Copies of this chain bind each other. A is one copy, B any other.
Amino acid sequence: METRKPMLSITRRVRFAASHRLHNPELSDEENARIFGRCNNPNGHGHNYVLEVTVGGEPDPQTGMIMDLGKLKDFLYETVVVEVDHKHLNADVEFLRGTIPTAEVIVSRIWDLIERKLPAGKLLEVKLYETENNIATRTSSR
């Protein structure tokens, strides 16, 4: 018989404004232009990114909290937002050094950056809105 164990999580949304350029230095300018189109503009362009981070667990009976949402917010500001807000993602951000900062690459690196700092198994999902229409998500496989 299948039993359904309820799964509980909290999600915190934070924002940052950044610029980037999609460009692969190993390819020719023509290939870059063909692959990345207007996202390859040499001077870059930018977005108001929205980041949603979801952590799972059971509420502590003494606090009613899986994890303090205020602390999760502070953690995300200190670990992620301070690194990327009002920055150029290609030039200014250590954890994106050498990457092509597409939404899926950024979300994957943010996962790597924060997962190791959270208790094992806590991190369930990292979601990044580049615009309201373009979204990338990394999810823990279950």
Q: Which A positions have Cβ atoms within 8 angstroms of B?
A: 4-15, 17-20, 22, 24, 26-27, 35-39, 41, 43-48, 52, 54, 59, 62-66, 68-70, 73, 85-88, 91-92, 99-105, 107-108, 111, 121, 131-142
Contact = CB atoms under 8 A, between A and B. Distances in A.
A8 B48 CA distance: 21
A104 B70 contact: no
Contacts of A73: 133
Contact of A88 (B41, B52, B104): B41
A43 B87 contact: yes
B43 A134 contact: no
Contacts of A37: 70
Contact of A11 (B13, B18, B20, B136): B136
Contacts of A85: 38, 45
Given A62-B24, A70-B37, A47 B47 contact: yes
A19 B35 contact: no
